[in-house]
């Protein structure tokens, strides 16, 4: 399954939230759906986020399958 990514609000880097989700399940979620807070790898801060801030990384998914 693809990783859920967000853009770090402090550094602007794209970071993985640590969550994965099926594409169809993701589409069904409302834009204000709250994901699990996570410790950001880029700035070492716990970020809260909602679906509107996030996107799926299918590139990462393909890499894991190889």
List contacts with Zn ion (CB under 5 A): 8, 10, 40, 42-43
CB of 51 to Zn ion, least distance (A): 18
Phi, then psi, of 37 in degrees rounded to 5 = -65, 150
List the structure tokens of 43: 């700035």
Nearer to Zn ion, 22 or 34 (CB): 34
Residues 6+ apart with CB under 8 A from 10: 40, 42, 43, 45
CB of 5 to Zn ion, least distance (A): 12
Nearer to Zn ion, 19 or 43 (CB): 43
């Amino acid at each position: 399954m693809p990783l859920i990514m967000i853009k770090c609000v402090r550094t602007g880097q794209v970071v993985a939230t640590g969550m994965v989700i099926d594409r169809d399940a993701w589409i069904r979620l409302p834009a204000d759906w709250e994901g699990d807070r996570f410790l950001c790898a880029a700035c070492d801060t716990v970020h809260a986020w909602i679906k509107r801030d996030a996107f799926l990384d299918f590139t990462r998914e393909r890499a894991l399958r190889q």
